[in-house]
Amino acid sequence: MTITSQMAIPLVAALKWLDFLNRKKKLCVGIFGETNVGKSTLANRITYDFTGEKMSIASTVPHETREIQQEYFDLQANGKTLGITLLDMPGISTKVDFREFKQYGLTEEEAMQRAKEATRGVIEAIKAINNIDLALLMVDSTRAPFSQVNITVLGVLEKEDVPTIVVANKIDEKNANPEQVEDAFSDKKTVPISALNGTNMSMLYKTIASS
Ligand SMILES: Nc1nc2c(ncn2[C@@H]2O[C@H](COP(=O)(O)OP(=O)(O)OP(=O)(O)O)[C@@H](O)[C@H]2O)c(=O)[nH]1
Ligand SMILES: [Mg+2]
């Protein structure tokens, strides 16, 4: 069939409309929280679920992540596809003491270098709040939720009007108390998960997709 100029105009309009319908919502999502709460484990779990690849290094040594790690992928949930830029943030702490790292077997020099990088990382994570669309504030459910870090980070997120989901992690631990986390931040949606075991990940994806 030959396409005449009279047919071409509605065809172009229809293609544009289809393109509009297919346009993905794009979201820049940052994972924030204290050190060792499981941010990198969560980042790895999410990217593994959607790409088959991990994006970060998780470890028992605090301040393992000292530079923002970034990955782009499509997240599918609630029948929607979202173009996600996921940022795994350096852990935030009120104090960085190089002597603490020596307990994990680092040499004096390595410990001092790590402390320097960790301090830069904390600043980088706080600054990044200005560039994200959605925050996952990750809390270790075995620790007291009302920490100085959690309250400060939430305060900055609220000041910048960043929608925030509280992620209560490590619910696989015997002494985990996700209800306490939920009560502490009752004005936010809280999703209890185990990033290590993958428990409740689909609940988290649905909450992200409906944010
Ligand atoms: N039991 C349990 N352990 C977890 C869970 N998620 C993470 N961990 C462990 O917690 C430790 C810290 O995990 P990371 O993912 O490196 O934590 P992080 O928040 O990225 O740490 P920093 O980068 O240092 O801020 C590791 O030993 C993980 O295996 C979980 O859901 N349950
Ligand atoms: Mg990390």
- For the segment 154-183, what is each residue's pLDDT rounded down to a tens digit? 999 999 999 999 999 999 999 999 999 999
In a domain, 11, yes or no: no
Distance, CA 11 to ligand 1 centroid (Å)?
Answer: 53
In a domain, 19, yes or no: no
Q: Is residue 125 in contact with ligand 1, taking CB distance under 6 Å? A: no
Predicted confidence (pLDDT) at residue 1 exceeds the cutoff of 80 = no
Q: At 84, which amino acid appears?
A: I
Identify which ligand lies nearest to the alpha carbon of 36: 1
Tokens of 54: 């991990």
In a domain, 120, yes or no: yes
What's the pLDDT tens digit per position in 93-148? 999 999 999 999 999 999 999 999 999 999 999 999 999 999 999 999 999 999 99
In a domain, 1, yes or no: no
- Could you give the 3-state DSSP secondary structure of residue 186? coil
Band of residue 16 on the pLDDT scale cut at 50, 70, 90: confident
pTM of the model: 0.91
Name the residue range of residue 96's domain: 24-209
In a domain, 124, yes or no: yes
Region 50-76: what's the mean pLDDT?
97
Residue closest via CA to ligand 1's atom 8 equals: 38
Distance, CA 198 to ligand 1 centroid (Å)?
Answer: 13
In the chain, how many domains are there?
1
In a domain, 40, yes or no: yes
Q: Which of 40, 41, 54 most suits a substitution to test ligand 1, by most atoms within 8 Å of the C-beta?
A: 41
CATH of the domain at 149: 3.40.50.300
Ranges of beta strands (E only) in the chain are 25-33, 69-77, 80-88, 134-140, 164-169, 189-192
In a domain, 98, yes or no: yes
Distance, CA 90 to ligand 2 centroid (Å)?
Answer: 6
In a domain, 3, yes or no: no
Using CA atoms, how far residue 131 sits from 53, 127, 206, in Å, is 25, 8, 23
Size of the chain, expressed as the number of residues it contains: 211
**DSSP H helical ranges for 96-138:** 98-102, 108-128
Q: Is residue 36 in contact with ligand 1, taking CB distance under 6 Å? A: yes
- pLDDT for the residue 10: 81
CB-CB contact of 111 with 101 (8 Å)? yes
